[in-house]
Structure 1
């Protein structure tokens, strides 16, 4: 589906990114290619890739680089995947060890072609990273597995340090923005995760600039808190190509700051809210605050 780009104001100054492709960036890129690994940093065209890679942090994307869904905001390739590499978890662990990570984020394309949605590979990757680096925390950013509870259980059984699943947008826009994913199903997944492992922090993310209203953002926050989500990230949607949804507006940093206040008032243990924030941005800083908050309530 092609979405006609509309005439909007050019990107404001607060979305300007300083490109710093130093030695660490080049080293990490070469390492990823040598191990035939994918990162969501590259595939989703994340604006923070230069900063994060320069600081030797990355979000690994497992289960190949072809997604079975065609979400209208995402730059990841869509099609029929042919790749299922059972050695991938060990290669991710090897790369994480070489990078000396303290916090490892693992995400994936949606693999609706697999009976378990790829949950077993998620679980093996968590175990592989921990086997190499016992002190490294591991965050998983999972798809909805089409609502398959057994797939979610497979991931929760290995006890990731953070379970992340993105709601992405407000309920009114969800069907337009996401492919196959459902707003209610995402909330149900986050609810089930908390029931399965109450002491594991859960996390979700909202993109702004797609036409949502202020009251809808607050309602989405309330919906996430109603299923005990601990960590919230909010960032500006940026159109990756002319074929994707157009940006309706650029949200000012002051509005992001106010939304952070609203999130904290609602009881999220940690809120990242700024134009260039993405789901895994500063992820390592969120583990401690969320875990301490959960421990205090148990």
Structure 2
């Protein structure tokens, strides 16, 4: 597929705008509590659907990432923000939204000794305290391989531990900044050993130059690390300075990936052009109940 043909997105990537009352209410709430969401910062294509359905993914530790991954739209630089009251504001917003499933992620904060793990743990505990019936999912960075940081998060007992592998091993160094393919697998495997009752989850984005067999090998590597929930989605170029799209996969190809993932033993596979790590996260939890056992 030529680069020119990639200028126009296929029909299945068209997004329906839903900027009704729920969308406006959630946006206003986030601003009033000075909270960030990965929905906005990463230019997620599902923001209209998710916010219309009163679901959002909180992004803690500020809006500036210490890494500069070539696929990600989040601001990069040296962060100055560290708000110890942020966990309570996240919990207040989750309570006001009446969430049944709360997803908490963050920018990478490599300049912090614990990588922000204590704020993650505080946010999990705060949400669980205010909403005892709400499940909490964390989408964490790799903490540069710091085992104690991972332990700090797991001791807060999130219901799902999510860490994205993003792409196949051959392309990992080109696509991601500082993160390492084998370090990701090690983190996921270590999580399963530290907290075997907490299911692990990961995500692959396609369209950055990978081959089908490499995607299948990545699935095998994730399964070997004990991952039970998998999401696969289409990479979309946030700006001209980011990686170009090498291919737009068809819905049929995503259906094939889902079938291959289920054959490999994943409890739940969410695979589609607009799928992102937190897309239909609540449904994933319900579908994959018992995945940590």
- TM-score category (smaller protein): over 0.9
Alignment of 1:1-80 (within 5 A): 6-9=3-6, 10-80=8-78
Q: Check the 8 A contact 2:199/2:291 in 1, yes or no.
A: no
* Residue in structure 2 matched with residue 270 of structure 1 by the alignment: 268
Task: State the match for 1:288 in structure 2.
Answer: 286
**CA–CA separation in structure 2 for the residues paired with 1:98 and 1:242:** 38
The match for 1:165 is 163
1:12-161 maps to which residues of 2 (within 5 A)?
12-161=10-159
Taking structure 2 as the reference length, the TM-score comes to 0.98
The structural deviation recorded for 1:37 is 0.1
- 5 Å-filtered alignment, 1:225-264, equals 225-264=223-262
Q: Distance in 2 between matches of 1:135 and 1:293?
A: 18
| RMSD between superposed Cα atoms in Å | 1.0
**For the residues of structure 1 that align with 2:142 and 2:72, how far apart are their CA atoms?**
16
Rounded to whole Å, the distance in 2 between the matches of 1:72 and 1:95 is 31
Q: Please report how far the alpha carbon of residue 6 of structure 1 lies from its aligned counterpart in structure 2 after TM superposition.
A: 4.5
2: CA distance, partners of 1:242 / 1:6: 12
Q: Deviations over 1:214-263 (max 9, x none)?
A: 10000000000001100000000000011100000100000000100000
Tell me if the contact between 1:68 and 1:111 (Cα under 8 Å) persists in the aligned partners. Answer: yes
How far the C-alpha of 1:32 sits from its partner, in A, is: 0.3
For 1:211, the equivalent position in structure 2 comes to 209
Shift of 1:158: 1.1
Q: Is the 8 A contact 2:60 2:104 kept in 1?
A: yes
Note the C-alpha offset of 1:78: 0.2
What is the alpha-carbon distance in structure 2 between the residues aligned to residue 82 and residue 287 of structure 1? 35
1:20 deviation in Å?
1.1
SS of 1:61's equivalent in the other structure is: strand
Whether the 8 Å CA contact 1:8–1:248 is kept in 2: the answer is: no
Distance 1:120 1:290 in 2: 28
